[in-house]
Amino acid sequence: MPKLLEKSESLVIKIVGIQGQIANGVLLFMMAIISFDVIGRNFFNHPLKGTYEMTELSSAMLVFLALAITHQRGNHITIDFLVERFSKKAQNLLLGVVEMVIALVVLLIAMHIFENGLRMMERNSATTDLGLPVYPFLFIIAFTLTTFMLLAFFKAIAYFRMAVIKG
Per-residue pLDDT for 141 more than 90? yes
pLDDT at 166: 63
Domain positions in the chain are 2-164
Residue 87 has a pLDDT of 86
DSSP 47: P
Q: What is the pLDDT, as a whole number, of residue 47?
A: 87
Alpha carbon distance 28, 43 (integer Å): 22
Is it the case that residue 17 has pLDDT exceeding 60?
yes
Share of the chain above pLDDT 70, in %: 98
Whether pLDDT at 151 is above 90: yes
User: What's the chain's average pLDDT?
Assistant: 92
For residue 159, which of 76, 102, 85, 75 has the smallest C-alpha distance?
102
Percent above pLDDT 90 for the chain? 72
- How does pLDDT run across 63-76, given as a tens digit for each residue? 999 999 999 988 77
- Label residue 81 by pLDDT band (50, 70, 90): confident
User: What are the residue ranges of helices labelled H in 44-165?
Assistant: 51-73, 88-122, 135-164
Q: Is the pLDDT of residue 79 over 90?
A: no
Residue 12, Cβ neighbours under 10 Å: how many? 20
The residues near 140 (Cβ < 8 Å, ≥ 6 apart) are 61, 64
- Whether 1 has a pLDDT exceeding 60, the answer reads no
| Spatial separation of the C-alpha atoms in residues 88 and 164, rounded to whole Å | 10
Q: What is the pLDDT of residue 4?
A: 85
pLDDT for the residue numbered 86: 85
Distance of CA 22 to the CA centre of its chain: 11
Q: Tell me which residue of 1, 12, 6, 4 sits closest to 158, measured CA to CA.
A: 6
24 and 70 Cβ atoms separated by less than 8 Å: no
pLDDT average, residue stretch 79-95: 85
- Cβ-based neighbour number of residue 122 at 10 Å: 9
Can you give the pLDDT at residue 145?
Answer: 97
